[in-house]
Structure 1
Amino acid sequence: MPTTTDDKYSRGVVGVRTGSDAYPGAAVLGVEGAWRTGVGMVRYVGGEKASALVLARRPETVAGAGRVNAWVIGSGTDPAHRTPDEEQALRKLLSGEVPVVVDAGALDLAPGASAPLVVTPHGREHDRLREAAGLAPLGDETDTDARSEAALETAAALGATVLVKGATTIAATPSGWGRRITSGTPWLASAGTGDVLGGVLGALIATGSLATVDDLGPLAATAAWLHGSAATQAAAVHGPIGGPITALDVAHALPGIIGRHVTPG
């Protein structure tokens, strides 16, 4: 919770380098998720099309690079269409000291990265990530115990925190810490909700105080819990068993969830 002595910088600055001409909405959703989680500033770095949509939706966003406390990369991008300049820029972030949330189209760059990382794959992406790290793919996404063990194994192999998305989301760190998060709703299985989650996680990292890399695990679990709780609240508006929601509905519900659970001071 911000105090009377905070300003926009002390509340944390998150950099978002997501979206593409093919998927510009991912940039909008990630930025929206970050703002709705309570970060002090969001910087967006991306193409003209995505930048225009981000600023039309959230004009308080700063378009352009600058000092940040955390990065979110990869959402709404395709490595098959990544330019050499973009790859060089992403690898520079992944070799830096600022924590990076790595999603979707940047997951292939995670193995060998030296920055503090949280990778956020869904099941199929997790299998590809495991293969890239020299591990056998899991395949079966229904066995929660096996998914938890696999996430811990992946985290150890990558030296990164892993957040495997699903009906039960799994958070795991290289040191062996793990959590299962079940705060969501089946209505959350909708396009763009993962992009919102990336923004939520980036904001929590940017506003938090990291003593060690393992602190990223609890932050990842918290982000998943907030995201799932916001989705459950948004769906509940439509009746006792919930109803259809969109990714922006999830983002809009975040402040209410945070406001009811924030600790003063």
Structure 2
Amino acid sequence: MDDNREPEERRTAEPTAWEAGDAKAWIAVPTADDDKYSRGVLGMVTGSARYPGAAVLGAEAAARTGVGMIRYLGAPHATEQVLRRRPEIVSAPGRVQAWLIGSGMSADDRSDDDARRLAAALDDGTPLVIDAGALDLVARAAGPVVITPHYRELAVALAAAGGGAPTPGAEEIRADPGGWAERAAAALGVTVLLKGHTTHVVAPGRPRITVTAGPAWLATAGSGDVLGGVLGALVATHAAAVAEHGYDALAALAATAAWVHGRAGESASQGGPVVALDVAEAVPAVLRGLLAGS
């Protein structure tokens, strides 16, 4: 068979469906020797004066996924809201194992203070989960990256990348989400989690993973912020695995986060409407069931 076609024309490998057994392998269970630092510290630069709720939802989800500590370093009003909901969260800078940045932020009206906070996280060299209002900054990241866009946000990230990266419209991505997740991973050099009822996860040069989990009711405001929190916590608790296995670990963690988020949505919904905070609150029960094998 002639295989001298351009890479995009070659037949791609069939995607792998991520299941409960796959997800279970990426849930870190603490031992008697662990402390809050060894269990992972997640830094967060999320939320804004306009969207403080995104910070609350992400922090709530991360805390309920099992991270040892959260350092929230966002805007003052968002910080107040996060600490009101979760007083155990630390608002002082310090060492972290991973960052979650961009949720509830906008590149169009980024303040100088937010720009400095984001720059510090991007320069840190630790793994980053980049969402929403920081997707235009992907190329500046010093550490390994997983991005969590929906269709429109992926179009923005590709347009901001420059350097010959493809620049599809949102509707083009919607028509071929798996293909565009693969192209974006190759063009940006990052792991891509493209959100949707079927979530597509792709690391550069690796086969695509699909996760079909959660009811259609999950298409609600703040749901993506919860997913970001779950993924941020998982990356922080597996920083050593990311350092050792790179893209493969980030893809597995992204797929696990999507699986947990979807199952939490099912649990919270019970066949009816659901709000994002309900999804975050359902995460511990999902993890208990997963670890118990039920």
The correspondence for 1:243, drawn from 272, 288, 292, is 272
- SS in structure 1 of the partner of residue 139 of structure 2: coil
Q: 1:9: which partner in 2? A: 37
- SS in structure 2 of the partner of residue 8 of structure 1: coil
CA-CA distance at 1:78 after TM superposition: 1.3
- SS in structure 1 of the partner of residue 268 of structure 2: helix
Note if contact 1:18-1:75 (Cα within 8 Å) is conserved in structure 2. Answer: yes
Over residues 157-191 of structure 1, what are the superposed CA-to-partner deviations in whole Å (9 max), with x where a residue is unaligned? 11111111011111010122311111111010000
Amino acid at match of 1:248: L
Note if contact 1:112-1:158 (Cα within 8 Å) is conserved in structure 2. Answer: no
Q: Does 1:219 align with 2:250?
A: no
Which sections of structure 1, spanning at least 5 residues, go unmatched? Answer: 237-241
Amino acid at match of 1:136: T
The worse-fitting range, judged by mean Cα deviation, of 106-115 and 36-45 is 106-115
The correspondence for 1:189, drawn from 219, 227, 234, is 219
Note if contact 1:93-1:115 (Cα within 8 Å) is conserved in structure 2. Answer: no
Amino acid at match of 2:278: D
Give the 5 Å matches for 1:28-47.
Answer: 28-47=56-75
* In structure 2, C-alpha distance between the alignment counterparts of 1:164 and 1:199, rounded to whole Å: 16
- SS in structure 1 of the partner of residue 158 of structure 2: helix
* In structure 2, C-alpha distance between the alignment counterparts of 1:4 and 1:171, rounded to whole Å: 34
The correspondence for 2:229, drawn from 192, 199, 213, is 199
- SS in structure 2 of the partner of residue 72 of structure 1: strand
- SS in structure 1 of the partner of residue 282 of structure 2: helix
Q: Which protein shows a greater Rg?
A: 2
* In structure 1, C-alpha distance between the alignment counterparts of 2:33 and 2:292, rounded to whole Å: 17
Q: 1:151: which partner in 2? A: 181
CA-CA distance at 1:248 after TM superposition: 0.7
- SS in structure 2 of the partner of residue 63 of structure 1: coil
Give the 5 Å matches for 1:18-33.
Answer: 18-33=46-61
Which sections of structure 2, spanning at least 5 residues, go unmatched? Answer: 1-28
* In structure 2, C-alpha distance between the alignment counterparts of 1:160 and 1:56, rounded to whole Å: 34
Q: 1:173: which partner in 2? A: 203
- SS in structure 1 of the partner of residue 134 of structure 2: helix
The worse-fitting range, judged by mean Cα deviation, of 200-209 and 106-115 is 106-115
Q: 2:9: which partner in 1? A: none
Q: 1:137: which partner in 2? A: 168
Q: 1:231: which partner in 2? A: 265
Amino acid at match of 1:213: G
* In structure 2, C-alpha distance between the alignment counterparts of 1:263 and 1:201, rounded to whole Å: 21
CA-CA distance at 1:263 after TM superposition: 7.3
Note if contact 2:173-2:180 (Cα within 8 Å) is conserved in structure 1. Answer: no
* In structure 2, C-alpha distance between the alignment counterparts of 1:182 and 1:12, rounded to whole Å: 28
* In structure 2, C-alpha distance between the alignment counterparts of 1:79 and 1:136, rounded to whole Å: 18
Q: Does 1:57 align with 2:95?
A: no
Note if contact 1:20-1:50 (Cα within 8 Å) is conserved in structure 2. Answer: yes
Over residues 16-45 of structure 1, what are the superposed CA-to-partner deviations in whole Å (9 max), with x where a residue is unaligned? 110111110111001001001011111101
Q: 1:261: which partner in 2? A: 290
CA-CA distance at 1:141 after TM superposition: 4.9
Note if contact 2:52-2:78 (Cα within 8 Å) is conserved in structure 1. Answer: yes
- SS in structure 2 of the partner of residue 90 of structure 1: helix
Aligned CA-pair RMSD: 1.6
Q: 1:90: which partner in 2? A: 118
TM-score, with structure 1 as normaliser: 0.92
* In structure 2, C-alpha distance between the alignment counterparts of 1:150 and 1:60, rounded to whole Å: 40
Amino acid at match of 1:107: L
Amino acid at match of 2:221: A
Aligned length in residues: 257
Note if contact 1:26-1:195 (Cα within 8 Å) is conserved in structure 2. Answer: yes
CA-CA distance at 1:127 after TM superposition: 1.4
